Structure 1
């Protein structure tokens, strides 16, 4: 049991003397900026070395901080990977939905905004690489794969479902199951573009094509979800 916990990163290894003597945090920048620098370094190391070979010590060196500083923010390597995924995939979506700005838009405009954010995020080079990483680690560390899924795809579904549910209450949409509807919407938005990206063909898709894709998905989705008298 202890061996599996260490593999997943649930147990934090003690710092060496050299690591303790290193500067604990960058000397300049706000806390948010320092966190961004740390997550930048973690992203680079995870993508370069893979989850299994990446170490907190290696990430600390790349970020210019001590391992203690990282463990003050994240209890283990798995939690750090989850933070990387959340920032990369759902942070922008979370802000847009939770700040209430979409409630001032029509469902068509709001869903177009959500679709554009989702497709832009999930087909970014780093997100695609992390997606591949998650698939690679799924069989070796299923517990980690489940957490990655919860942090990325499932969190995205929850956010979109929350928006759809709010619109059902407002009477702008008629949907029996917002969660199922969110899953269908996200699948229609991401399926073809993500498949191209996974096979290294993202460069063949122009931004105009992505915009038209999102618009067509939104129109199709709304045909089945708007009140009949609209």
Structure 2
């Protein structure tokens, strides 16, 4: 299965001559995200996207009032594809929680450390400093969607008696921070050691997280 980033990197210039309206809409979102990622949000105009996709700016403006709405829609499309792909990981519901966290952790970390995602993260940080409302919207369609997906997974294993009841949204956010923050920070500043062992990092985070979570007293909280 191609990832959203791989799809964006392979997308051809011009509007598809065939396919459903949904497929043409997906093409617009994927190509737009590719342009945002490679050229930057500030340097990307609706006219630039329209020309690249062989559609009129009027057509795009019928769907999106500005490029930020288009950016958020493109990001949401990418995240939904990633979440769908995570749910399609082999035997997700039949594996141990440790293996599920390992598989999901590997999936998330690989996405976060892709060169285009690192580039886009730099761009997004610069943009949201001037547009706080964009920051909130991007958080909702990005991290919060992933956190909710993980919280649902934790709830499933709690019902099986393999986890104590907790605030699983907070647990999901903590897992992602343990998994992502250090490697992404080092990658952004070019400080990732050449011999860094990705799998060892994932295993350490999974063990640390699980032992901590499983050792906690149950809490009667809503999800």
| Shorter-chain TM-score above 0.5 | yes
Indicate the structure (1 or 2) with the bigger Cα radius of gyration: 1
Aligned residue runs from structure 1 range 77-88, under 5 A:
77-88=67-78
Residue 143 (structure 1) aligns with: 133
Distance 1:63 1:40 in 2: 10
Aligned residue runs from structure 1 range 132-211, under 5 A:
132-201=122-191, 204=194, 209-211=197-199
**Secondary structure, aligned partner of 2:141:** helix
Residue of structure 2 aligned with 1:214, choices 188, 202, 213: 202
Gaps of 5+ in 2: 1-13, 217-223
Distance 1:204 1:29 in 2: 44
**After superposition, what is the alpha-carbon deviation per residue over 1:126-168, rounded to whole angstroms, capped at 9, x for unaligned?**
2212211221012211111111122112222121112112221
Residue 19 (structure 1) aligns with: none
Residue 126 (structure 1) aligns with: 116
**After superposition, what is the alpha-carbon deviation per residue over 1:167-206, rounded to whole angstroms, capped at 9, x for unaligned?**
2122121242101111111111102211122113458366
Asked whether the equivalents of residues 86 and 107 of structure 2 are also in contact (C-alpha less than 8 Å), the reply is no
> Judging changes above 3 Å, is the alpha-carbon distance between structure 1 residues 105 and 69 closer, same or farther for their aligned structure 2 residues?
farther
Gaps of 5+ in 1: 1-23
- How big is the alpha-carbon RMSD for the aligned residues of Structure 1 and Structure 2? 2.9
**Structure having the larger proportion of residues in helix:** 1
- The aligned length equals 203
**After superposition, what is the alpha-carbon deviation per residue over 1:8-67, rounded to whole angstroms, capped at 9, x for unaligned?**
xxxxxxxxxxxxxxxx94213555654454234312322344323311111111122233
> Judging changes above 3 Å, is the alpha-carbon distance between structure 1 residues 41 and 150 closer, same or farther for their aligned structure 2 residues?
same
Q: TM-score, normalised by structure 2?
A: 0.77
Distance 1:87 1:197 in 2: 25
> Judging changes above 3 Å, is the alpha-carbon distance between structure 1 residues 197 and 87 closer, same or farther for their aligned structure 2 residues?
farther
Q: Give structure 1 regions of 4+ aligned residues with deviation exceeding 6 angstroms.
A: none
Q: TM-score, normalised by structure 1?
A: 0.75
